[in-house]
């Protein structure tokens, strides 16, 4: 089984506008449509069995409508695993996370550069407490494609969250911290969290890490805590699967990364999708 643990889509009516804005902001081009039909076409071409859909609320008012939509599409499509939206300024995170749980949503995504927070801010603690030990928290981690002046979610701040909430199920996207590889090695490797591979493999113009160093980080952290992720629609799922399959690592480790780790983390039936 192959599970893309880091993908993005939008409702049809806003998808084109949302992607155009992100393309302009980051100076990158999408490789597919960020819609339900678009990602299904991509998944079929790449032999991806399931995709974890990550959504970001840029305002508190967006939280509930995003979660309603994710619950709806995940309910009729077993190949979608929706992670809900939350915002640092949402007034009642405990109630909304309880509602997510009841709707079958398995966690949330937080993006500090859009939502303007530090992960170890105490104001974030009620969100972490509400997630408890059964829901997954995915952090955007590290810098951006277009560098920001100040990185909010550094590996050391993620480590601080782990210290305060040792039972929290955490995924640090972009191999623990995009373009913060020294800090990842210093603060996160070997800790009890997952790292995903979204938007990590070098491509022309974005060659901030070598494939050899990617393997070194995976091996040092443990292949059992690495998730395959693409950042679809900004990376091609078929090419990203090929990147993992082409690594000079044991086939058993490839199987863990490509799907088995995500199946265990998100409680996905390996024979049910």
CA distances from 264 to 62, 155, 227, 247, 257 (A): 30, 24, 11, 22, 11
Question: How far is it, in rounded angstroms, from Cα 266 to Cα 262?
Answer: 6
Residue 146: the pLDDT is 67
pLDDT of residue 273: 44
Answer whether 34's CB lies under 8 Å from 8's CB. yes
Q: Which helix (H) or strand (E) holds 7?
A: strand 3-7
Residues 6 or more apart whose Cβ sits within 8 Å of residue 163: none
pTM for this predicted structure: 0.95
What CATH number is given for 3-265 in this structure? 3.20.20.140
Segment 119-138, tens digit of pLDDT? 999 999 999 999 999 999 99
The CA angle 271-171-92, to the nearest 5 degrees, is 100
**Is the Cβ–Cβ distance between 108 and 138 less than 8 Å?**
yes
User: Quick one: tokens of 121?
Assistant: 């801010």
DSSP string, 171-229: EETGGGSBT-HHHHHHHTTTSSSEEE-TTTS-BTTB-SS-HHHHHHHHHHH-GGGEE--
Q: What is the rounded CA–CA span in Å between residue 184 and residue 207?
A: 17
* Extents of the domains making up the chain: 3-265
Q: Which helix (H) or strand (E) holds 103?
A: helix 93-103
| Ramachandran quadrant class, 192 (left: phi over 0; alpha: psi -120 to 50; beta: rest) | beta
Angle at 121 between CA 115 and CA 126, to 5 degrees: 85
Ranges of residues in the chain with a pLDDT under 50 are: 272-273
């Amino acid at each position: 089984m192959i599970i893309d643990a880091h993908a993005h889509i939008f409702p049809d009516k806003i998808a084109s506008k949302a992607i155009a804005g992100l393309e302009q902001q980051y100076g990158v081009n999408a490789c597919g449509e960020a819609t339900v039909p678009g990602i299904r076409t991509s998944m079929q071409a790449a032999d991806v069995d399931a995709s974890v859909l990550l959504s970001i609320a840029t305002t508190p008012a967006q939280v509930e409508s995003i979660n309603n939509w994710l619950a709806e599409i995940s309910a009729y499509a077993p190949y979608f695993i929706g992670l809900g939206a939350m915002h640092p300024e949402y007034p009642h995170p405990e109630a909304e996370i309880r509602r997510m749980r009841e709707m079958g949503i398995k966690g949330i995504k937080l993006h500090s550069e859009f939502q303007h927070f530090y992960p170890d801010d105490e104001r974030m603690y009620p969100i972490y407490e509400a997630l408890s030990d059964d829901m997954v928290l995915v952090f955007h981690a590290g810098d951006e494609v277009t560098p920001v002046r100040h990185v909010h979610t550094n590996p050391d701040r993620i480590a601080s969250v782990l210290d305060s909430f040792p039972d929290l199920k955490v995924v640090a996207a972009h191999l623990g911290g995009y373009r913060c590889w020294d800090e990842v090695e210093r603060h996160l490797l070997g800790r009890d969290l997952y790292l995903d591979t979204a938007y990590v493999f070098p491509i022309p113009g974005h060659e901030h890490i070598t494939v050899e160093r990617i393997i070194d980080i995976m091996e040092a952290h443990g292949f059992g805590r690495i998730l395959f992720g693409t950042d679809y629609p900004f990376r091609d799922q078929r090419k990203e699967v090929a990147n993992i399959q082409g690594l000079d690592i044991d086939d058993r480790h490839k199987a863990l990364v490509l799907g088995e780790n995500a199946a265990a983390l998100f409680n996905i039936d390996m024979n049910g999708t």
